[in-house]
Amino acid sequence: MNRWKAALGVLAVVALAGCAGTGLGGAPAPSDEQLAQNATYDWNDSADVTLNVTGGQYKTVADVNGTERVRLASTSGFAGRNPVQISAVQFRYENGTVVGADAIDVATRDQRTVVDLPAANGTFAYTGSAGSRAVNAPLDFEGSHEVVLPAGMRVSFPVFGDVSPDGYEKSVVDNRVHLRWASLSSATVSAEYYLLRDLYIFGGLVGVLSLAALGGVVYYRMRIRRLEREREDAGLDYER
């Protein structure tokens, strides 16, 4: 019994230590160095919210109207809610003045990344993480949304490509897919994409495997017929 109590005590200490290190949010809060990282943002995008996805990251530029607080969190069936890790935060006032991390408060509270902006109206920009073939971005903004995928990536083939939510328009400009929603509100935008080269490789593998399977069927049918002829020549196939 004492051993069980000791083991449970160790687990409790570990769990509490983990919570203390993450601000009770399930993930560590961004460091001052991460928040102050340098990044170049396009403040003149036509959509209210734009995600420009490049290798391993996405840059979000979002108009904010009438609010000084943004909450960012991802959800999953197993882990529940988790704060979104962001970096290189900037804010552009309506008069065009741009300020950085020194003017923006970022904290992890209630399993969310909570951002307090210096003004209720303006444009907020930050950088998040993306995979090599997918992006998942929980957003706390309203209005038109646009996602620009890395050059050469596509989403049309259903085995490799998928976009959520539905109701988007797709176009290709300078070899980059643009996904646009006329209006979204606090939505999680996600996309799984592939290189055209991946599709060609997949098609080639399917073709090779199909030819191999067809060759195997032909070979075994020929073997069966040969065995049947050998049995007939040996007099093994006869009626009693």
Count the neighbouring beta carbons within 10 Å of the beta carbon of residue 106.
22
Cβ(89)–Cβ(114) below 8 Å: no
What percent of the chain is modeled with pLDDT above 90?
Answer: 64
- At residue 194, φ and ψ (nearest 5 deg) are -150, 160
Query: Residue 3: pLDDT band by 50, 70, 90 thresholds?
Result: very low
Cβ(151)–Cβ(175) below 8 Å: yes
Burial of 171 (0-12, 13-18, 19+ CB in 10 A): exposed
Query: Residue 154: pLDDT band by 50, 70, 90 thresholds?
Result: very high
At residue 158's C-alpha, the angle toward residues 144 and 58, to 5°, is 40
Cβ(135)–Cβ(191) below 8 Å: yes
- Which residue has tokens 């991946």? 198
Which tokens in the block code for residue 216?
A: 């195997």
Count the neighbouring beta carbons within 10 Å of the beta carbon of residue 137.
22
Computed over every residue of the chain, the mean pLDDT equals 82
Q: What number is the average pLDDT over the span 161-167?
A: 96
Q: pLDDT tens digits for 90-137?
A: 999 999 999 999 999 999 999 999 999 999 999 999 999 999 999 999
| DSSP reduced 3-state for 54 | strand
Most confident by average pLDDT, 8-17, 191-200, 206-215: 191-200
CATH class of domain segment(s) 29-192: mainly beta
- Which of 156, 150, 157 minimizes the C-alpha distance to 134? 150
Query: Residue 224: pLDDT band by 50, 70, 90 thresholds?
Result: confident
- 3 vs 53, which has greater pLDDT? 53
Q: pLDDT tens digits for 25-63?
A: 455 678 999 999 999 999 999 999 999 999 899 999 999
Which pTM does this prediction carry?
0.74
What is the predicted pLDDT for the residue at 29?
A: 74
At residue 89's C-alpha, the angle toward residues 95 and 189, to 5°, is 100
Domain ranges across the chain: 29-192, 196-240
